[in-house]
Amino acid sequence: MRGMNAVWLVLAGLTAQTPAFSADAEWPINGGPYNIRYSALTQVNPGNVSQLKVAWSYDSHDSFKDSEMQSNPIVVGGVLYATTPTMHVVALDAVTGREIWKFDPSGGSTVQRRFRQRGVTVFEDRVFVTYRNYLYALDRATGHPLPGFGDAGRVDLREGLGRPAERMTVSASSPGVVFEDLFIIGSTVPETLPGSPGHIRAYDVHTGKLRWIFHTIPWPGEYGYDTWPKDAYKISGGANAWAGLSLDPKLGMVFAATGSASFDFYGSNRIGNDLFADCVLALDARTGKRIWHFQGVRHDVWDLDFPAAPTLVTVERHGRKIDAVAQITKMGTVFVLDRRTGKPLFPVAYRKVPASRLPGEKLAVMQPYPVAPPAFTRQAFTEDMVTNRTPQAHDAVLAQLRKLDSNGIYTPPSTRGTVLMPGTDGGAEWGGAAFDPETGLLYVNANEQPWIIRMVTHDTTSLYKNNCASCHGEDLKGAPPTFPSLVGIGERRSRAELKSIINEGGGRMPGFDYLEQGVDEIVEFLVTGKDTGHVDPAVAAKDPNWLKYRNEGYILFRDPDGYPPITPPWGTLNAIDLNRGEIRWRIPLGEYPELAARGLKNTGSDNYGGPVVTASGLLFIGATNFDKKFRAFDKLTGKLLWETELPAAGNATPSIYEIGGREYVVIVCGGGKNGAPSGSSIVAFALPQTT
């Protein structure tokens, strides 16, 4: 914890014996201590926030079409650390924005593949960052890899998982946490098959040696093993803490929120509840031993991952303070759990849900529903919600909706097509929640965007359809930017580049090197359109990763003009009272500039990236995709107090710090979501200096 100032030490509950090395107020941890995204600073307040101006800006000049930049900047010792669209790590003077050093993990290669990375971890003399399957430890002063860490400064995250490393596809989109001398981290793994397990691991901060591992897909003899088929630990994937981790240093506990098991939408090869997928996990930070768990979705076939790391809050219940965990969900709900035991602090009802009609699938009979706080999004797309933006849009959407199954949360995927509302992005999303310890209010931004999942039979006549179409579509159009279009990919990539990408995989995409000659046949199809790759049915029948069904693609439900198919709001900002289990206020967040110009304002819009709340009474948030605004609201009422336009959408969580008596609010501006323009800027705001 070295380098924390007095403000953070008080907030983190550390003792006065821990020295404060600076009078400045830093932002030393992703999401702030306890992951509550709260600042005790008060220089910028509701009375003067309208005077905020750009204090400095920095552009890494490495954005490209559909690139993203989601880093929550870390500020320690007067230096700001963040990542860029091509995964360079930059260290900037936090007062001026001057570049101090830059680290390029690609070794100078031209990078035009989208990375999704949310920042770094700074500890003592080192900066931890992940790039593809590697965890690097960099010298904080120079940005050079530290030779004493792992192999020449890096550790291969594919190793130590109990399976051949060369067959694993593992990375990490969210930074880890440091407890004592341990660096603890989750992972990003493929959501299709073949899968990689999402085990949580702790490494020695100095040497990179693996110190403990928690198997999120349990091994024989471990708790939860009987909730999977007996050989699942050898072949299944997912159940990964991709959204990051939260740390309680006083209790010595680390908390994770895990994702679904692979494959996301059909689970005939993983019959059972699938612990520890879709769980809030409390682990002993020293040993990795399970303390408790709470499963939010049993046998998930909807991609309803917990989308953000747990928020460690303190609430008042029946006249006493209780340390708790607040876990937001893609479904637009919040589970509030006792931090020490995992017991829900508000009632959770277990309700019967529909059975699947797909052969081989066996869904859980009951699923948990939090009774309070109430849902902060709509949870079904019904005919009375069909857009009225234009009569033509209304009629087209209504006709499409009537062809689909749309019965709310836990409607089983089908070959007819199922509406997920909220969709696979949420609801609440990876930006996470902010918590105000003074009022007990939890702030969550949310999307109200339905998606369509349609199941189709795997096609043995096409290697491309069998392995790639679930994400990129049979028509190659994908669902950019999450699943990029492959139309015309042969004009943008060489055959060698395509083969390398398919063999290696990355992020949500598994590597397919096991297909051997089949990779060349997929490349031939992408370049020429000649689909010569076929699957031998006899071989497929013996493959444990072969499933009868796949999804047609990730389809964002839109009206004919590209707008959400439902009545507004399309995106919201919510204040939830965790003491009383009530929604205090809710407002639309964002708008589409072209619609606003025609009089359709305050609709809300797609939004990704989280808020920060301050002791002075403010809530800062960027997030909105298309208006590119950065806003400040009154935290008690939701009243808009200030806004400005960013160079690109601020799809990230802001950071707040103070140096030399001046308070700064900083956000990265990467854009690139759902077709929005991409950028590569970091912008810091402050009040004008007085002479």
Which residue range is the domain that position 25 belongs to? 1-131+430-447+576-691
pLDDT attached to residue 377: 98
Residues 443 and 482 in one domain: no
Q: Classify residue 557: in a domain, yes or no.
A: no
Residues 6+ apart with CB under 8 A from 652: 69, 70, 71, 72, 118, 431, 609, 610, 622, 667, 668, 669, 670
pLDDT attached to residue 461: 67
Identify any residues that bridge with 279 across adjacent strands, giving them in sequence order. Answer: 295
For the chain, what is the domain count? 2
Helix H or strand E segment including 55 = strand 53-59
228 pLDDT more than 80: yes
pLDDT attached to residue 484: 75
The pLDDT-based confidence of 167 (bands split at 50, 70, 90) is confident
Q: Classify residue 92: in a domain, yes or no.
A: yes
Contact 327, 334 (CB under 8 A): yes
DSSP reduced 3-state for 664: strand
Residues 538 and 593 in one domain: no
CA neighbours closer than 13 Å in the CB half-sphere of residue 243: 34
Q: What sign for the dihedral angle of Cα 671, 672, 673, 674? A: positive
Q: Could you tell me the CATH number of the domain that includes residue 526? A: 1.10.760.10
Per the structure block, which two tokens stand in for 95?
Answer: 């007062």
Residues 541 and 619 in one domain: no
- For residue range 147-165, list pLDDT tens digits in order: 999 999 999 999 999 999 9
Residues 648 and 508 in one domain: no
Identify the domain boundary among 503, 524, 546: 546
Residues 624 and 478 in one domain: no
In DSSP notation, 448-496 reads: ---EEEBEEE--TT-HHHHHTHHHH-TTS--BTTTB---TTHHHHS-HH
Distance spanning both ends of the chain, measured CA to CA: 36
Q: Classify residue 241: in a domain, yes or no.
A: no
pLDDT attached to residue 517: 67
DSSP reduced 3-state for 247: strand
Identify the domain boundary among 496, 526, 546: 546
Gyration radius (Cα) of the chain, Å:
24
Q: What is the mean pLDDT of the chain?
A: 91
The pLDDT-based confidence of 22 (bands split at 50, 70, 90) is very low
Residues 437 and 464 in one domain: no
691 pLDDT more than 90: no
Residues 7 and 87 in one domain: yes
Give the residue with greater pLDDT, 276 vs 494.
Answer: 276
| Stated pTM of the model | 0.91
Per the structure block, which two tokens stand in for 575?
Answer: 């204040």
Residue with tokens 């100095």: 206
Q: Could you tell me the CATH number of the domain that includes residue 122? A: 2.140.10.10
Q: Classify residue 277: in a domain, yes or no.
A: no
Mean pLDDT of 275-287: 98
Residues 494 and 436 in one domain: no
pLDDT attached to residue 472: 83
Residues 6+ apart with CB under 8 A from 454: 413, 414, 415, 416, 417, 418, 551, 552, 553, 555
Least confident window among 191-205, 255-269, 271-285, 502-516: 502-516
Alpha carbons 435 and 445: distance in angstroms, whole number: 12
Residues 661 and 540 in one domain: no
Give the residue with greater pLDDT, 678 vs 110.
Answer: 678
pLDDT attached to residue 313: 98
Q: Classify residue 555: in a domain, yes or no.
A: no
- For residue range 63-95, list pLDDT tens digits in order: 998 899 999 999 999 999 999 999 999 999 999
Residues 534 and 601 in one domain: no
Long-range contacts of range 321-325, CB-CB < 8 Å, 24 or more positions apart? 323/248, 323/251, 324/578, 325/246, 325/255, 325/280, 325/282
Residues 538 and 583 in one domain: no
- For residue range 609-657, list pLDDT tens digits in order: 999 999 999 999 999 999 999 999 999 999 999 999 999 999 999 999 9
Contact 622, 630 (CB under 8 A): yes
The pLDDT-based confidence of 467 (bands split at 50, 70, 90) is confident
- For residue range 369-419, list pLDDT tens digits in order: 999 999 999 999 999 999 999 999 999 999 999 999 999 999 999 999 999
Give the residue with greater pLDDT, 193 vs 56.
Answer: 56
Give the residue with greater pLDDT, 1 vs 93.
Answer: 93
44 pLDDT more than 60: yes
The pLDDT-based confidence of 259 (bands split at 50, 70, 90) is very high
The pLDDT-based confidence of 520 (bands split at 50, 70, 90) is confident
pLDDT attached to residue 480: 64
DSSP reduced 3-state for 659: strand
Alpha carbons 63 and 122: distance in angstroms, whole number: 25
Q: Classify residue 396: in a domain, yes or no.
A: no
Residues 627 and 480 in one domain: no
Q: Classify residue 213: in a domain, yes or no.
A: no
Q: How many percent of the chain have pLDDT more than 90? A: 78
Q: Classify residue 312: in a domain, yes or no.
A: no
Can you give the three-state secondary structure of 608-657, one letter per residue? CCCEEEECCCEEEECCECCCCEEEEEECCCCCEEEEEECCCCCCCCCEEE
17 pLDDT more than 60: no
